[in-house]
Amino acid sequence: MLSEPDRLTPVPAHQADILTRMGVTIASRPAAADLIIDALIGYSLRGDPAGAAAELITWANGQAAPILALDTPSGLDLTTGAAGTPAVRATATLTLALPKAGLLDAPGVGELYLADISVPPLVYRRMGIPVPELFRQSGLLRIDPWPPSDLLGQKA
């Protein structure tokens, strides 16, 4: 983690508390791991990662353990798909709600999965976004091949 647990804002603090109660060790310094979960930088990325975030990305990319990126590999611009320096090279990416355009042919995404976070269909309708019933059979979908033109409302 980039911040000590007592310095987190309410939403990340709640998530850290859940992990702690599950028995997951949360470290502020890198250590050997069986799996690296990347949730450092999301939509807030402006320019290349710097400071502690850049150091952790570089460290993660140098490990033998697989990397699971949550929503986006840190350092990747979700709008353009451009990878910053540095950017996580994920083994797999679990993106949330809908596929992001920037994941299209982007480097370092790995296997791509889409997870249901229970966004009500009414929200998409009000936003004018036509979304098929993606999660009728499962709350987790593997997106293969990418891009799935039928999910994006386009013809192949």
Q: Does 94 share its domain with 51? A: yes
Same domain, 54 and 77: yes
The sheet carrying 67-70 orders its strands as 36-38, 67-70, 92-96, 111-115, 140-143
138/78 same-domain check: yes
pTM: 0.81
DSSP three-state, residue 37: strand
Domain harbouring 71, CATH code: 3.40.50.10260
**Mean local confidence (pLDDT), 45-58:** 90
The range of the structural domain enclosing residue 25 comes to 1-30
The reply to whether 56 and 80 lie within a common domain is yes
Report the pLDDT value the prediction gives residue 98, as an integer from 0 to 100: 86
**How far out from the chain centre does Cα 44 lie?**
12
Residues 42 and 96 occupy one common structural domain: yes
Q: What's the pLDDT tens digit per position in 102-153?
A: 887 888 999 999 999 999 989 989 999 888 888 888 999 998 755 454 554 4
Do 123 and 52 lie in one domain? The reply is yes
pLDDT in tens, 7-49: 888 888 898 899 889 998 777 778 888 999 998 887 667 789 9
